[in-house]
Amino acid sequence: MKKRFLRNVEWTILICSITLLLIGLIALYSATQESEYSEFKKQILWFVISIPIVFIVMIVDYNTLAKISPFFYGVFILLLIGVLFTEPVNGARSWYEITDTLKFQPSELAKIFVIMFIAYVMVKIQKKNRNEINKILKLLLLLLIIGIPLVLIVMQPDYGTAMAFIISMCLMLFVAGIDKKYIIVTFLIIVISLPIIYLYVLPEHAKTRIQVYLNPNIDPRGSGYNIIQSKLAIGAGKLFGMGILKGNQTQLGYLYPKTTDFIFSVIGEELGFVFSSAIIVLYVVMITKSIYVAKTAKDDMGSYIAIGIAGIFIFHMLENIGMTMGLLPITGVPLPFVSYGGSSMITNFMCIAILLNISGRRQKTISLN
């Protein structure tokens, strides 16, 4: 069993994530020299902490993890409620401050347990009949499960993480066999409601971000400053970059926050188009392999969890890289394995461990049907 497990594991996913981490560490080393490499050192520490967690999550059967997910779902709902009463950081109540330098973001780890709980409920719903997923009451139950954490995250406010939940949920429902009529109706509702949401629901700072996304030059010294500096940095890198510790925007402090939201800009400026393209290729390979794990999982539970995790990675990659190049609005979404962040690091490697877990428990003969 052990040999078959190791033989079936999609090791490419782990290799891609480690390679992305190494590139991120190079960028963090360059971006943190003025702070005596503080965040660079912490990132290495978070990776070391993640290693035993990866082994534990990888070994325990994912069906067992799914069975205990309702408990953790409840715990993280309480944590997401509690975080709303903390002091805001950069305008958002998203972190528990454990010490002056140690912070915990519950919405990050909540991704895993929300996905697993939704997958668990989906399997229960479809136990006798796969088409049960299309009954209104069953769909409403699933929407309620994701709606509670979604509302709490929006209240922080953290629209980027909320969108990651939505993308993940949509992919899970699609794989579960949701009827096309629901997809069409949802699309129409979104199209109709977007202008209403923009005019009457979105706070002013969110509207400003959209306006700046459309035209950064309307406020070049204010809201448009970060994206302008980001595009300048990426453009200055050209093919092979300006060199580690030699990027103008990075080293002179024009990029902010350069260790989290705009780490891709640091890479673009100092390592150039070659490394930037390599990062995108690595994500594409990792996500493709994640989807393959979803297609070849031994059961529906594995398929739903894997595609949910793939959705998280898809959104984070597209949103972070897109916003640094001015292709998408800035939302403060980190780049998985590359951006600095303890909660993000542990969450992402737990996701990798779950994918390895699911892939290792496939049958010896893998079928795409």
pLDDT class of 366 with cuts at 50, 70, 90: very low
The pLDDT value given to residue 1? 55
The pLDDT value given to residue 171? 94
Whether residue 6 is contained in a domain is answered as no
First to last CA, the chain: 24
Q: Rounded CA gap, 322 and 316, in Å?
A: 10
Whether residue 367 is contained in a domain is answered as no
Structural domain count, the chain: 1
The pLDDT value given to residue 88? 85
Mean pLDDT across 356-362: 93
Q: Rounded CA gap, 230 and 285, in Å?
A: 26
For 358, phi then psi, to 5°, come to -65, -45
Whether residue 14 is contained in a domain is answered as no
Query: Three-state DSSP class for 92?
Result: strand
For 104, phi then psi, to 5°, come to -125, 125
- Give the residue numbers spanning the domain of 221: 19-360
Whether residue 130 is contained in a domain is answered as yes
Query: pLDDT by residue (tens digit) across 69-81?
Result: 999 999 999 999 9
Whether residue 268 is contained in a domain is answered as yes
Query: pLDDT by residue (tens digit) across 323-334?
Result: 999 898 888 899
Whether residue 250 is contained in a domain is answered as yes
Q: Which residue has the tokens 């699911």?
A: 358
Query: Three-state DSSP class for 308?
Result: helix
Mean pLDDT across 87-96: 83
Percent of the chain with pLDDT over 70: 98
Query: pLDDT by residue (tens digit) across 103-152?
Result: 889 999 999 999 999 999 999 999 888 888 999 999 999 999 999 999 99
The pLDDT value given to residue 13? 97
Measuring CA to CA, how many Å separate 132 from each of 121, 127, 137, 144? 12, 9, 10, 17
Q: Is the pLDDT of residue 27 over 90?
A: yes
Helices in 256-297 by DSSP H: which ranges?
263-270, 272-296
The pLDDT value given to residue 99? 74
Query: pLDDT by residue (tens digit) across 217-274?
Result: 888 888 788 899 999 999 999 999 999 999 999 998 898 889 999 999 999 999 999 9
Q: Is the pLDDT of residue 365 over 50?
A: no
The pLDDT value given to residue 214? 84
Query: pLDDT by residue (tens digit) across 281-317?
Result: 999 999 999 999 999 999 999 999 999 999 999 999 9
The pLDDT value given to residue 325? 92
Whether residue 119 is contained in a domain is answered as yes
Query: pLDDT by residue (tens digit) across 32-69?
Result: 988 889 999 999 999 999 999 999 999 999 999 999 99
Provide the token pair at 188: 């129409």
pTM: 0.92
